[in-house]
Amino acid sequence: MWHEPQNHNTYHYSFEVGGKRYLGGGSPGGCAPSSMRIGQIVRVYYDPANPNESGLCTFKEQGQSVIAVAAWLVAGIVLVGLFVFEKKAATRSD
């Protein structure tokens, strides 16, 4: 495993399936421990039908991470929308 902290804290790893080497990487989304070290042996989860799809956490954990980000994004959009609506309403009443 190797690490690029300047590139969005990206971790890279390699693994073999059926004698073929694959590379993967990504930013830890809560499933990669903060204690990871360069050169450390890690568990890689991959799709047996397509080993190019891989990660350092299960696909279920990856999905939960995406859902959490989407929920925060929607909440932010709603709050901005409410703020803009309130500002326009306050301007009309002046």
Name residue 2's beta-bridge partners. Answer: 12
Supply the pLDDT for residue 60.
66
Q: What is the DSSP string of 29-73?
A: -SSS-TT--TT-----EEETTEEEEEESS-HHHHHHHHHHHHHHH
Supply the pLDDT for residue 17.
96
The reported pTM is 0.54
pLDDT tens track for 26-80: 766 556 656 677 788 888 889 999 999 888 877 666 655 556 667 778 888 988 8
Closest CA to 45 of 65, 24, 76: 24
Supply the pLDDT for residue 65.
54
